[in-house]
Structure 1
Amino acid sequence: MKKYDYVLVGSGLYSGVFAYLARQNGKKCLVVEKRDHIGGNIYCEEIEHIHVHRYGAHIFHTSNKKVWQFVNELAEFNRYTNSPVANFKGEMYNMPFNMNTFSRMWGISTPAEAKARIEEQKASITGEPKNLEEQAISLVGRDIYEKLVKGYTEKQWGRDCKDLPAFIIKRLPVRFTYDNNYFNDLYQGIPIGGYNVIMEKLFEGCDMEMGVDYLEHKEYYDGLGERVVYTGTIDGYYGYQFGKLEYRSLRFETQVVDTDNYQGVAVVNYTDRETPYTRIIEHKHFEFGTQPKTVITREYSVDWSEGMEPYYPVNDERNQELYQKYAALAEKEDQVIFGGRLGEYKYYDMDKVIESAMSRVEKELG
């Protein structure tokens, strides 16, 4: 008999949900985490009595009632609504693209006028869009593309929109109403007290080992558990034997500012190419904070290389083909479960990570 039923590699949301449900079924879990804290990328740290999202803004949203009930059993959620603003060289526009955006851009006031303007500009693209630029213009017209899509997207991906495949932007949300709510989901909010409240509950009762690289001691940890739940990079697990999958990474610059309100909203996207960062996050607005000071984070999108934190899988065709080779190896594993954004090489929202972990546990434990 091994000491643990499950050795969970990584302490993000997938691991947390898996561990929580496994523990409810009487299973013993060990968590092995490379960082010095639990919570993966939704970890918050407290600065100036503000819960700072250390790895970028995380806003919980879902239309899945079961998932919403699950997270609300772990923490109470506030009524935060994601309504980011775009800054193009000092011109401010509401996101997602809606009547407030169109009114500001074109000085118009009715949905009919906005539709006519977009249709007129879309006409320049004929036939199947050949790249991201053509795809975006065919969806929202040239003015919105030039001011609110082009620079931001090029910073995010580190290449020109003409060199990016069209399928990256399959759709851009366009609303002909005066509604700044970014998400269409039924439920939305931020846990009161930050995400750590949820993560601590998810891992309650588990044994934890922090600051440990599982892959460096793989044999030892494999010997401790009946099964391994692996949430690191799938190509890393297999020693990059088919080559490395590509990711985008992020760099954050966080500072305390001696004012009670820096930008008036939690998230401002900088959509011109010249501003080096993609957005500024002002964390207090996630929880309607009234602290005398504020904390802001500038977020930069950067090329990933080994040793850096991988954030976004680059889901182009080449990488998808490569991932399928690793997925075929993973299929044959009896003792290892691959999960989460890195284990499944998928850009997952938080609710989808929870859904994925729930269905995997159900399959495992019935």
Structure 2
Amino acid sequence: MVKQYDYLIVGAGLYGAAFAYRARQRGKSSLVVDRRPHPGGNLYCEEIEGIRVHKYGPHIFHTADREVWDFVRTLTEFNRFTYMPLANYEGRIFNLPFNMNTFYQLWKTATPAEAQAKIASQREAGAVGEPRNLEEQAISLVGKDIYELLIKGYTEKQWGRPAVELPAFIIRRLPVRFTYDNNYFNDPYQGIPVGGYNKLIGKLLEGIECRCNTDYFRHRSELEAMAGTVVFTGPIDEYFGYCFGPLEYRSLRFEQETLDMPNYQGIAAVNYTSAAVPYTRIIEHKHFEFGTQPKTVITREYPQQWSEGCEPYYPVNDQRNNSLYRKYADLAEATPGVVFGGRLAEYKYYDMDQVIRRVLDAEI
């Protein structure tokens, strides 16, 4: 039986849209479906007071992969935005990532040698042998001061449990720079699409049929009958009916506010590292595109445990969940005619450039 489409792509996020684009380049047809009312997945932006608001949390495209960078720039122009968030601990402001500015704000150390000596003394004081949990691991890397002021509260809010109950591997490495450099990412290429991420997704899906407000699971038989291959980008456990049990995710809740002022915090992102503050950060969206609008829009970001009806954002890649995912991955490998791709389908935290790389390397 001749199929109407080569691919049925479930999910109009970055992986699904990029896959559809590459398939079209190769002369193949795709039908893209998404249960949300818009394409773009978590990259979707909505315009408020002339400001493009990152509806599902901020996204900064950054990469060291020149091929990926060149690919996305064939689709749209990128601005020169550099991510330089601040940390607020009980009203004290610190630069991120941990660098010479941070160390001077903490200890008044002005040279790399002074900062290295301070961290070394704190690491030695907190040495416990092989770290058994995240708290011990963090102190062994950066010492007590940085841990207590800038890591502990933020991490416990992010994961929803005490740091001493979190596995050490979560924080095996911490970015520590002994230079006065506030650029959060080490990657040489960084920016945000001029005109927002909707423009990037629109270019990827140009000329491709995309049906929003369409639940794949409610119309599964009908949709699969239309295409030769399914490209699934949703949660892999959901695809298989949670037959081995559900995987764990962390989710987010957003509290958005429009303010009658031109500038609220002077920067795109401020992390709140104290456990006493219930949210992890405040985003001021206009600063992603150097906006000069008379009003501003901010979003407070609250981590929460994933439950049905919430969006799954971050896989909980501990030993139990990774073992469970392996069962689903084995089942996926034995399922013909289906490609599993993206964060949720592969149960991995991918940055955007890694998603694009996965698509560029895929056999289409």
TM-score normalised by L of structure 1: 0.98
Other-structure match for 1:182: 184
Distance in 2 between residues matched to 1:198 and 1:70, nearest whole Å? 11
Query: Superposed, which structure 2 residues align to 1:1-366 within 5 Å?
Result: 1-123=2-124, 124-360=126-362, 363-364=363-364
- Between 90-99 and 20-29, report the one with greater CA deviation: 20-29
Q: What displacement does 1:213 show?
A: 1.0
Deviation string, structure 1 residues 121-150 (Cα, Å, up to 9, x no partner):
111223110000000001111000000000
Q: Distance in 1 between matches of 2:113 and 2:310?
A: 48
SS of residue in 1 equivalent to 2:158: helix
Q: Summarize deviations over 1:136-182 as a string: whole Å, max 9, x none.
A: 00111100000000000000000000000000001110000000000
Structure 2 CA distance for aligned equivalents of residues 321 and 126 of structure 1 = 29
1:227 Cα deviation (Å)?
0.4
Root mean square deviation of aligned Cα: 0.7
Give me the identity figure in percent. Answer: 64
Distance 1:214 1:203 in 2: 18
Q: What is the letter of the counterpart of residue 176 of structure 1?
A: F
Conserved 8 A contact 2:43-2:59: yes
Q: Which amino acid aligns with 1:311?
A: Y
1:195-226: CA deviations, max 9, x gaps? 00000010111112111110121111110100
Gaps of 5+ in 2: none
Give the letter for the 2:60 counterpart: I
TM-score normalised according to structure 2 size: 0.99
**2-side partners of 1:158 and 1:28: how far apart?**
43
Question: Any idea what SS the aligned residue of 2:261 has?
Answer: coil
Aligned-partner Cα distance in 1 for 2:267–2:127: 35
Q: How far 1:272 moved relative to its partner?
A: 0.1
Higher mean C-alpha displacement, 236-245 vs 22-31 = 22-31
Question: Which residue identity is paired with 2:177?
Answer: R
- How far apart, in 1, do the equivalents of 2:200 and 2:328 lie? 32
Distance in 1 between residues matched to 2:108 and 2:260, nearest whole Å: 36
The farther-off stretch of 205-214 and 129-138 is 205-214
In the alignment of these two chains, the number of paired residues is: 362
Q: Helix, strand or coil for the counterpart of 2:279?
A: coil
Distance 2:183 2:36 in 1: 34
Q: Distance in 2 between matches of 1:333 and 1:202?
A: 28
Mapped partners of 2:177, 2:210: distance in 1? 46
C-alpha contact 2:45 2:52 (8 A) present in aligned 1? yes
Aligned-partner SS, 1:182: coil
**Structure 1 runs of 4+ with >2 Å offset:** none
CA distance in 1, matches of 2:307, 2:57: 19
Give, in whole Å, the separation in 2 of the partners of 1:21 and 1:74.
12
Q: Distance in 2 between matches of 1:176 and 1:210?
A: 48
Whole-angstrom CA distance in 2 between matches of 1:32 and 1:239: 19
Q: Tell me how far apart the structure 1 counterparts of residues 128 and 304 of structure 2 sit (CA, whole Å).
A: 33
C-alpha distance after superposition, 1:316-345 (max 9, x if no partner): 000000000000010012211000000100
CA offsets per residue over residues 92-138 of structure 1, 9 Å max, x none? 00000000000011122111111111111111223110000000001
Give the Cα separation in 2 of the matches to 1:345 and 1:300. Answer: 22
The runs of 5 or more residues in structure 1 that have no matched partner are none
Distance 1:220 1:237 in 2: 16
